[in-house]
Amino acid sequence: MARGPVDADLYGPDWAPSFIRQITKTGAPEKPGSRWQGTCWLKLEGERPRAYLVGMTRPPLSIQDLAPVSKGSSSQEALARTRDLVRLGEALGYQRLWYAEHHGMASIASSSPEVLIANAAAATDRIHVGAGGVMLPNHVPLRVVETYRTLEGLHPGRIDLGIGRAGGSDSRTLQALRSFGGEAFPEQFAELLAFEGGSFPPDHPFAEVDAVPGGITLPPIWLLGSSGASAQMAGQYGIGYAFASHFSPTPAGPAFHAYRRSFRPSEAFPEPHAILCVSVICAPTDAEAKHLAKSMELTWLSLRSGQPQPIAPPEEADAYPWTDAERAFVSEQSRLWIVGSPETVVEAIEAKAQEAGASEVMVTTTVHDYDKREESYRLLARAWGLPES
């Protein structure tokens, strides 16, 4: 249970943990909010209002799955394991599971999120499944609308459409994909929304194009970001926003602040909803978790070299002849990872989520052993207090 002051002026009146808007200047406690459940009161300190939390439970947890490929295993097994993980996530009480889109990486099998979404939704009953996300520069907007309307029609109310502005690969692979540059993203995104809403001007060449299947709306849309560049855009469109703290050293708080300041309510999002994505490895002890994290060290090193490899076992990292420069790179990168026992991990996630003002936390876990990966999600869910089914 977290306690302490939250700077209400910093986040503004539209801060997503909605109890901030329910507090009164009389100091009377209000009922719990709809995101971070809790009670609080407002105390004026000079000209800066501060909301003091009396009691606060934790935000929902979700999963991001990259379908990681481990050394000694196969892409086929990695793909089969995606079904195991989404079923486990549903049973453990995770809110949603998103599949990333990456291309040309030997350590990642998630190159077609829409196929994995269909597979996952068919294997489960309640958990939301979606793309985290569709890298729009690699796709034609009309095709995205058609694909995700189809998924929504097959699994109504359970699909999410996360959209990113990067290509998610190296320059040669992006050239093979005929990927657009990031500068075209605003135009592409506007085109996608115009196909969805049938809102092209009468003289536009696509004005008479019908996006099918008809009679089905797109699932809720989220913009993904890692630097804050998409935050204000997401707010102005009245859609969700997710920040990639699992690989970006940029603090999420300012991006979430910009998102909420610019937010305009929509039918899909009456309130702003900000997801903080974090990298987590949880094991029974801190020592074991740190041992498992050694696989991540080699994975990031291979990514930096431009030669991504399947995820190596921790013992291979122990035997690797590290240079000082490589050690320095991995040490800096590992600052972004949350690694430890359930108690250690929960404390760190709570701190990051509260500091950023997250409505929800999405966890990605990459280790060599698939069973240890599932154990990590299981330990975290129970320590976090998720309602198991």
**What CATH number is attached to the domain comprising 213?**
3.20.20.30
Same domain? For 137 and 204 the reply is yes
Residues 224, 243: Cα–Cα separation, whole Å? 6
Q: Specify the pLDDT at position 152.
A: 98
- Give pLDDT, residue 122: 98
CA dist list (Å): 230 to 89, 159, 220, 248, 384 = 28, 21, 16, 14, 30
Global pTM value: 0.85
The C-alpha atoms of residue 8 and residue 51 are separated, in whole angstroms, by 6
Report pLDDT for 104.
Answer: 87
Task: Read off the amino acid at residue 357.
Answer: G
Are residue 45 and residue 136 in the same domain, yes or no?
Answer: no
Looking at the structure, tell me whether residues 47 and 69 fall in a common domain.
no
Total domain count for the chain? 3
Residues 226 and 299 in one domain: no
Domain termination site, one of 12, 40, 56: 56
Q: How many CA atoms lie within 13 A of 239 on its CB side?
A: 21
Which residue, chain included where needed, has tokens 């198991």? 388
Q: What is the DSSP pairing of strand 38-45 with strand 61-65?
A: unpaired
Domain end (from 40, 56, 72): 56
Residue at 270 is within a domain: yes
Residues in the chain with pLDDT values less than 50: 1-55
Angle (CA) 7-9-12 rounded to 5° is 110
Going by C-alpha positions, the residue among 376, 169, 142 that lies closest to residue 278 is 376
For residues 250 and 226, membership in a common domain is answered with yes
Clarify whether residues 111 and 241 are in a common domain.
yes
Both 48 and 66 in one domain: the answer is no
Asked whether residue 312 is assigned to any structural domain, the reply reads yes
Does 303 share its domain with 366? no
257 and 346 co-located in one domain: yes
Do 340 and 348 touch, CB atoms closer than 8 A?
A: yes
Instruction: Give domain status of residue 106, yes or no.
Output: yes
Task: Confirm whether 357 is domain-assigned.
Answer: yes
CB 200 within 8 A of CB 169: no
Same structural domain, 125 and 258: yes
Residue 389 lies in a domain: no
Q: Which is it for strands 4-7 and 48-56: parallel, antiparallel or unpaired?
A: antiparallel
Pair (136, 80) in one structural domain: yes
**Residue span of the structural domain in which 25 resides:** 4-56
| pLDDT attached to residue 56 | 52
Residue 86 falls inside a structural domain = yes
Question: Of 33, 56, 79, which marks where a domain is finished?
Answer: 56
Q: What SS3 string covers the chain?
A: CCCEEEEHHHHCCCCCCHHHHHCCCCCCCCCCCCCCCEEEEEEEECCEEEEEEEEECCCCEEEEECCECECCCCHHHHHHHHHHHHHHHHHHCCCEEEECCCCCCCCECCCCHHHHHHHHHHHCCCCEEEEEEEEHHHCCHHHHHHHHHHHHHHCCCCEEEEEECCCCCCHHHHHHCCCCCHHHHHHHHHHHHHHHHCCCCCCCCCCCCCCCCCCCCCCCEEEEECCCCCHHHHHHHCCEEEEECCCCCCCHHHHHHHHHHCCCCCCCCCCCCEEEEEEEEECCCHHHHHHHCHHHHHHHHHHHCCCCCCECCHHHHHHCCCCHHHHHHHHHHHHHEEEECHHHHHHHHHHHHHHHCCCEEEEECCCCCHHHHHHHHHHHHHHHCCCCC
Claim to verify: residue 66 and residue 51 sit in the same structural domain: no
Cα separation of the two ends of the chain: 23
User: Is 119 inside any structural domain?
Assistant: yes
The answer, yes or no, to whether the previous bond of 137 is cis (omega within 30 of 0) is no
User: What six digits make up the tokens of 373?
Assistant: 């990966």
Tens digit of pLDDT for each residue in 132-184? 989 999 999 999 999 999 999 999 999 999 999 987 778 888 899 999 887 89
